[in-house]
């Protein structure tokens, strides 16, 4: 391979032991010891499939990250990516009102990828699983063309009550958030500007989202009528609740001032507002609750009202339509 081709691949693939020097069994022999034991794991990884003791209703979700689309080698370590891909999956389980129980992990990689990156990656994902009491059930390995690395995680979860859907918001409900808004997008912008140290909290959130997992089942038990995690931006994800529930969500801009202020010194007021309204990858939880029942840790950021004859279901800011769009994988902007 030419040096030019190697340098395109970046440090993940240019130092250490390339995966092509191992066979699959050897690689799995390195990977399995990193996984947490898992109290409900009846058959651990290594057989044709794992066996997990679980509830009678199981939540299932999957999310994938791709090098160059979801992270750059220069920004994130293997452990960061392990943390991120698991956290974003567990956030989807929490957003249904469930408790995550297990994950399956598929790594598809250029054989030049280093074993050291993979082991760091496995350590990062095992850390999140251990902290959340989640078992690693297994996964798959496959090779990929030059420069390609992707990790796909499938998460399972237990549902103790009723699932909280996107479609249950009712006029008169309060719109509330648990967690920060805009930090991960601010971190992305700072990484893109090669200035990650200007707001370390933001770059850390971009690298390692911290979804409030316990707040999902807490919200479900506390009467949440609709819920999701903010992965594509407050307005875009809020719009999904509005359309599924056939209501109008009206954001109260004054409730978002602390989020904007936390970013404005570094990014300026306009970009800070953009991050808060449209920033993806935050994985905070957004939910609606009947008025007067907001559980601890949730803060009201708006209201839910009926759709008028002359309008469609939508999310508004201070009663007005806004044009910030949020993240979309396919649309060229
Ligand atoms: N390729 C696909 N095939 C089948 N279902 C899909 C596919 N991609 C997404 N979905 C489903 O569409 C819905 C929305 O997906 P997505 O926007 O990724 O949700 P989230 O933001 O919660 O991860 C989910 O129910 C998901 O399972
Ligand atoms: C190199 C790079 N470019 C762009 C982004 C920004 N980005 C990637 S995915 C995404 C949105 C969330 O991802 P998605 O797969 O849509 O999550 P889901 O909604 O399925 O949970 C954003 C803002 C990034 N993190 N890294
Ligand atoms: Mg998804």
Ligand sitting nearest the alpha carbon of 61: 1
Asked if residue 326 belongs to a domain, the reply is: no
Overall average pLDDT of the 65-79 stretch: 97
- Residue 55: pLDDT band (50, 70, 90) is confident
Do 7 and 105 share a domain, yes or no? yes
Asked if residue 165 belongs to a domain, the reply is: no
Q: Map tokens 């060229």 to a residue.
A: 332
Do 116 and 195 share a domain, yes or no? no
CA of 152 to the centre of ligand 2 (A): 13
Residues, the chain, total? Answer: 333
Question: What's residue 333's pLDDT?
Answer: 56
Asked if residue 51 belongs to a domain, the reply is: yes
Cα dist. 140→86, 228, 259 in Å?
Answer: 15, 28, 40
Q: Is the CB of 231 under 6 A from ligand 2?
A: yes
CATH of the domain at 272: 3.90.650.10
* Residue 57, annotated as binding a ligand: no
Do 279 and 241 share a domain, yes or no? yes
CA of 72 to the centre of ligand 1 (A): 24
* Residue 194, annotated as binding a ligand: no
* Ligand 2, atom 6: closest residue by C-alpha: 70
Give the residue numbers spanning the domain of 102: 3-158
* CA-232 nearest atom, ligand 1: 21
CA angle 73–105–80, rounded 5-degree value: 30
* Ligand 2, atom 19: closest residue by C-alpha: 231
Residue 262 has pLDDT above 60, yes or no: yes
* CA-62 nearest atom, ligand 1: 27
Asked if residue 166 belongs to a domain, the reply is: no
- Residue 324: pLDDT band (50, 70, 90) is low
Do 184 and 121 share a domain, yes or no? no
- Are 286 and 234 within 8 A, CB to CB? yes
Question: What's residue 329's pLDDT?
Answer: 79
Question: What's residue 1's pLDDT?
Answer: 38
* Residue 281, annotated as binding a ligand: yes
Asked if residue 327 belongs to a domain, the reply is: no
Q: Is the CB of 225 under 6 A from ligand 2?
A: no
Q: Is the CB of 231 under 6 A from ligand 1?
A: yes
Asked if residue 322 belongs to a domain, the reply is: no
Ligand sitting nearest the alpha carbon of 95: 1
Q: Which of 153, 157, 56 is nearest to 97 (CA)?
A: 157
Do 139 and 203 share a domain, yes or no? no
Do 212 and 105 share a domain, yes or no? no
Asked if residue 114 belongs to a domain, the reply is: yes
* CA-231 nearest atom, ligand 1: 21
Question: What's residue 328's pLDDT?
Answer: 81
Ligand 1 pocket mutation pick from 60, 63, 184 by most atoms within 8 angstroms of CB: 63
ipTM over 0.95: no
Q: Is the CB of 88 under 6 A from ligand 2?
A: yes
Do 182 and 300 share a domain, yes or no? yes
Do 98 and 217 share a domain, yes or no? no
Do 67 and 189 share a domain, yes or no? no
What does the alpha-carbon distance between residue 304 and residue 183 come to, in Å, rounded to a whole number? 25
Overall average pLDDT of the 10-28 stretch: 92
Total domains in the fold of the chain: 2
* CA-206 nearest atom, ligand 2: 25
* Residue 140, annotated as binding a ligand: yes
Asked if residue 331 belongs to a domain, the reply is: no
- Are 93 and 59 within 8 A, CB to CB? yes
Overall average pLDDT of the 243-259 stretch: 98
Residue 238 has pLDDT above 80, yes or no: yes
Do 99 and 211 share a domain, yes or no? no
Do 139 and 267 share a domain, yes or no? no
Q: What is the mean pLDDT of the chain?
A: 94
Q: Of the candidates 111, 127, 158, which is a domain's last residue?
A: 158
Per-residue model confidence as pLDDT tens digits over 112-134: 999 999 999 999 999 999 999 99
CATH of the domain at 49: 3.30.1330.10
Question: What's residue 6's pLDDT?
Answer: 39
């Amino acid at each position: 391979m030419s040096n030019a081709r190697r340098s395109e691949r970046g440090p993940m693939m240019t130092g250490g032991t390339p995966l092509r020097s191992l066979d699959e069994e050897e690689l799995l022999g390195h990977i399995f010891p990193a996984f947490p034991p898992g109290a409900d794991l009846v058959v651990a990884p290594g057989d044709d499939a794992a066996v997990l003791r679980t509830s009678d209703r199981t939540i299932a979700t999957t999310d994938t990250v791709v090098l160059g689309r979801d992270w750059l080698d220069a920004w994130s370590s293997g452990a960061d990516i392990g943390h991120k891909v698991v956290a974003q999956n567990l956030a989807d389980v929490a957003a249904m009102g469930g408790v995550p129980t297990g994950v399956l992990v598929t790594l598809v990689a250029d054989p030049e990828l280093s074993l050291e990156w993979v082991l760091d990656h496995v350590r990062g994902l095992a850390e999140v699983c251990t902290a959340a009491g989640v078992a690693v059930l297994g996964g798959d390995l496959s090779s990929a063309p030059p420069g390609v690395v992707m990790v796909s995680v499938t998460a399972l979860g237990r549902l103790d009550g009723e699932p909280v859907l996107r479609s249950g918001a009712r006029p008169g409900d309060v719109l509330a958030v648990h967690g920060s808004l805009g930090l991960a997008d601010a971190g992305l912008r700072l990484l893109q500007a090669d200035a990650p140290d200007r707001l370390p909290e933001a770059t850390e959130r971009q690298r390692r989202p911290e979804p409030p997992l316990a707040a999902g089942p807490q919200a479900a038990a506390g009467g949440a009528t609709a819920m999701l995690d903010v992965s594509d931006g407050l307005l875009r994800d809020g719009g999904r609740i509005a359309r599924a529930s056939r209501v109008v969500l009206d954001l109260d801009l004054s409730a978002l001032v602390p989020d904007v202020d936390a970013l404005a010194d570094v990014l300026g007021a306009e970009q800070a507002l953009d991050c808060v309204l449209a920033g993806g990858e935050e994985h905070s939880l957004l939910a609606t609750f009947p008025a007067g029942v907001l559980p601890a840790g949730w803060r009201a950021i708006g209201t839910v009202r009926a759709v008028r004859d002359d309008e469609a279901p939508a999310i508004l800011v201070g009663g007005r339509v806004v044009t910030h769009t949020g993240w979309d994988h396919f649309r060229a902007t």
